[in-house]
A and B are shown apart, each in its own frame.
With several copies, the nearest count.
Chain A
Amino acid sequence: MDKFIIGSREVKSRLLVGTGKYKDFNQTAEAIQMSGAEIVTVAIRRTNIGQNEQEPSLLDFISPEEYTYLPNTAGCYSADEAVRTLRLARELLDGHNLVKLEVLGDAETLYPNIVETIEAAKILVKDGFEVMVYTSDDPIVAKKLEDIGCVSIMPLASLIGSGMGILNPWNLEIILKNSKVPVIVDAGVGTASDAVIAMELGCDGILMNTAIAAAKNPVLMAAAMKKAVESGREAYLAGRMPKKLYTASASSPTTGLIK
């Protein structure tokens, strides 16, 4: 059996999805259901004090009982902010300790700040969190984060929200070769083929948000992504045919031709 275990949890779907950027909560719920994801990321933000008590919230549409919430630290630019945010998230989610750490380098690229990320990871792991960590495709940093005790390494494929796909599959391959914890591509997937390529490389899963939410038809794209991740995983397990550069090989018999 093809088990997928993150920290202390076993998960069925290798597709993890974000909950941002949708038109409305109905679309969020429909797309996420279609995606088959079990783990959904959420951001932690100041409550809108004084708002209408009846105003719907994400939790009414994506039940925390049905889905595993994965609070992230999107928007944090220092280890300190990230740690505080995730401690609040743990309180908010009744002690839930599986979190996604990301510490960003600048607002223009949202590229991770590796030095701060390493700092935050050390603190959070000591503090009992199961840390899934967004990082660059630097294989030395990925190994260090694993050594610190992160339960999943989440390298970017390309910039958050860029949809550029996997820009450097070679670095990903080095990370995959060296990693004993799940490697989940986080950020940069733009369409279904990007997801398949990542899974064919041997990635354990994929986290995406914009690729679904910013498609013209997000619900149909969610369906495509579910199949893409499964297809890529199966192709990886099935073992692809070798590439042959210049010698074609006939699929039909080369004898018994009529003359």
Chain B
Amino acid sequence: MNIVINGELKVVDENKILNLQDLVESLKLTNKRFALERNGEIVAKSQLPNEKLNEGDKFEIVGAVGGG
């Protein structure tokens, strides 16, 4: 399945990655602070297991970095 994360095209195995929680785990973000937007809508962390991954989904996954 083709998705876009942070502007880059990714091909994911839809048999392994069924929902957004799976996606996040595959990206090794589980223990990190992050926030996730799918197609312009924020998905709360508590909802990640309930949200299925769809072909063409566009994700923005962000963290906090140094800034002024």
Contact = CB atoms under 8 A, between A and B. Distances in A.
A91 B36 CA distance: 8
Interface in A56-78: 57-59, 64, 69, 71-72, 74
B27 interface: yes
B16 interface: no
B61 A42 contact: no
13 contacts: A20-B67, A41-B67, A43-B66, A44-B64, A47-B62, A57-B65, A85-B62, A87-B37, A92-B62, A213-B68, A251-B68, A252-B67, A259-B60
A152 interface: no
A43 B64 contact: yes
B68 A46 contact: no
A213 B66 CA distance: 11
Contact-residue size bin, chain A (C-beta under 8 Å from the other chain): 35 or more
A205 interface: no
Contacts of B8: 49
Interface in B3-60: 5-8, 27-29, 31-37, 40, 42, 44-45, 60
A117 B42 CA distance: 22
A242 B46 CA distance: 47
Contact of B42 (A44, A58, A88): A88
Interface in A208-232: 208-210, 213
A72 to B, nearest CB: 6
Interface of B: 5-8, 27-29, 31-37, 40, 42, 44-45, 60-68
A155 interface: no
A244 to B, nearest CB: 15
Contacts of A45: 62-63, 65, 67
Nearest to B45: A91
Contact of A46 (B6, B45, B66): B6
Given A84-B37, A84-B40, A49 B61 contact: yes
B6 A209 contact: no
Contact of A93 (B36, B64, B65, B66): B64
Contacts of B34: 47, 92
Contacts of A97: none
B67 A47 contact: no
A90 B45 CA distance: 12
A2 interface: no
